[in-house]
Amino acid sequence: MSDPCPPLAETLNSIRTLCAKSGRPLDEVLDVPALSRASGLPEEDVETLLAGGTPPDVEPDVRVRQRVRFLYESHVNSDGQPKEIRDLADVIGQTTTWTRKLVAGEAKPNLMVGHLLTKYYNVAPTYLADPPDEALNRELQRPLRDLEIEVDPSQALKNLGVVHVAGRSADLTNPDLTALARMVASIAEDLAEVKFRLGGEGQEGSR
């Protein structure tokens, strides 16, 4: 979706350093339940990765099926219930019978169905396929970016390529720089996701 992330260990080291500088509690940033839901990993796998370990992995086909089931079970409506099977079937253009098998982990989505699912649930385009370390690392990039902006908004702007404004940072207050850096980071993230999704749609359309 964007430029390659640094390795997970490097991301975690950066987060720990920035938390120490900002005074933010580390367990607030490394929120295991939230990271589990966002990454598609069981909480125990998130805890293992945060501790520097390696959780058990599975074959890619099995991983995709497990992630679809996790997505269905964890991304629920406001009443705590999963999405209606009929609604999901309409979104992905499949029968309700096959959709039930899909969300039970008994069927594997093709590229188009996977794309429609991630779009419908508003999760990362690579949610279903990323290996565990890459899935967690992906979801840690936003809290890492937020910490970088909080600790040094001028440097964060430079990292985002806004050299001209960052060079005149003496003319801006720290809250101004922080707000600007957050806005630029949000725009950059949105543009990167649009680019990724458009590329994926183009590939699917050519299949």
Over the chain (207 residues), what is each successive 10-residue block's mean pLDDT? 75 96 94 97 97 93 97 95 97 97 96 96 95 97 88 69 54 61 60 56 44
pLDDT score, position 207: 34
Output the six-digit token pair for 176. Answer: 């101004």
SS3 content of the chain, % helix, strand, coil (to 5): 70, 0, 30
- CATH classification for the domain delimited by 60-121, as one of 1.10.1740, 1.10.260, 3.30.1490, 3.40.50: 1.10.260
* HSE-up of residue 163 (Cα within 13 Å, Cβ side): 1
Q: At what angle do helices 85-92 and 96-103 cross, to 10 degrees?
A: 100
Residues sharing a CB contact under 8 Å with residue 78, sequence separation 6 or more, in sequence order: none
d(CA 164, CA 175): 18
pLDDT score, position 149: 83
CB of 162 closer than 8 Å to CB of 182: no
* Cα of 40 vs its chain's centroid, Å: 9
pLDDT score, position 107: 96
